[in-house]
A and B are shown apart, each in its own frame.
Chain A
Amino acid sequence: MRITADTHRCLGAGQCVLSAPDRFDQSDEGTVLVLDSRVDDAAQETRLRDVVALCPSQAIALEV
């Protein structure tokens, strides 16, 4: 499983950066950058699912 991001959907709210700054950043243009896409265990998955749910523009996801 890994984190995917769609910069075309991203509208720069920054919820992902606030929630998981170890995983997400923003480009100079203000759209999402994934710093580390690995999802290694269930604990990480649970945490990242909450982050994904916070994204207002549904620009990030967890994909198998």
Chain B
Amino acid sequence: MTELAPDETVDPAVPVYPQARGCPFQPPAGYERYTQAGPVSLVELYNGRRVWAVSGHTEARQVLLDAATFSSDRIHPHYPATAPRFESARKVRNFIGMDPPEHTVQRRMLLSHFTVKKIQALRPGIQRLVDDLIDAIEAKGPVADLVPDFALPVPSIVICELLGVPYADHAFFEQQSRRVVTGTTTLEDSADAFAQLSAYLDGLIRRKESDPGDGLLDTLIAEQLSTGALTRRDLVDIALLLLVAGHETTASAIALGVLTLLEHPAQLEALRADAALLPSAVEELLRYMAIADGVARFATADTELGGHRVKAGDGVVVVISTANRDEEAFEGSGAFDVARGARHHVSFGHGVHQCIGQNLARAEMEIALSTLFRRLPGLRLAVPADRLPVKEPGGVQGIWELPVTW
């Protein structure tokens, strides 16, 4: 076993984490240095802190499954900030940044809203919404930018209806969410965006208390806030997580999913020829694109990980982009294969924090992508692929614009 404590200067040329993607659906070329060094290696964060990068699939699952040894407590000073925005997020406290048993209590309050059956019941509404947006795109174009005209409004409208947030406020919360999830956002900027979103949601919750609706937030007010199971601050922080995670991630996945399929014409053709491949194709997009590039933890005790001795307090980054391309877990991992049928990627995480909205994301991606390519069969990029603006490292990955014609 080697001992490479993150605080020791062992190798002056430790690679940095995160790094920028060249091609938006491929891991950064620089991540090869991590995998060449083994499934677990040292990386340096923006603030100079050295942490363990976990790039192997087996080791990634080991970390994510063991919440007792690898804490998600985002308020704890040992929790590694992989971008400045995570420093300001230390003030926001909801279940994504908690460990069991505290985490379990909050997550259980939400489970009944995200069952496979509940999401299945949302599909007809999502289908109508997607069709309406494509009607508008056809009426206006060609050309259209699929990010603002399609990829963003689909999940944004869906999460508004689910939570009971007025979509009329979308320009505000989409802009603030973007400041929260973008890798290059400064500490001050993300803190301001968190404060604005919190103030907005606090006001919304107060209005709902006197004038209830029928969304998830209304249920939480009636069942948890009124009984004292949640404080007002708890509820605001949970609402913030659900609203931001509920639209920004899926918006990125839909836009990047369109691009990935367009850039793999034989795979797109295979999907068009066999609609039964759709769930498998979405699963493969999730694996391949890995829009949540990585997720952080810190060790609560000395432990062994991938042949290294990890000490209590060490930071750990599970690199989803490389774990999903681990050849031992996915044969021919570099190939995008809509018929692969593999569901053990870690794009939604693993362990107790695995994405609560994953089945909503799957439904939105399935309906948005299949309907778009069916209704606009001549869909193609309106600019060269290498001119598309790629999202910055340290945040949700994807593209800022997607101009298309048909």
Contact = CB atoms under 8 A, between A and B. Distances in A.
Interface of A: 11-15, 17-19, 25-26, 28-31, 53-54, 56-58
Main secondary structure of the interface of A (DSSP, over half): loop
Interface of B: 64-65, 104, 107-108, 110-117, 343-344, 348-352, 354-356, 358-359
B212 to A, nearest CB: 21
B122 to A, nearest CB: 14
A5 B233 CA distance: 34
Contacts of A53: 344
Contacts of B114: 12, 14, 30
Contacts of A57: 351-352, 354
A11 B112 contact: no
Nearest to A58: B65
A12 B117 contact: no
A58 B351 CA distance: 8
Contacts of B350: 56
B356 A19 contact: no
B232 to A, nearest CB: 24
21 contacts: A11-B104, A11-B108, A11-B111, A12-B111, A12-B356, A13-B348, A13-B358, A14-B115, A14-B359, A18-B116, A26-B117, A30-B108, A30-B110, A30-B111, A53-B344, A54-B344, A56-B64, A56-B65, A56-B349, A56-B351, A56-B352
A61 to B, nearest CB: 14
Contacts of A31: 111
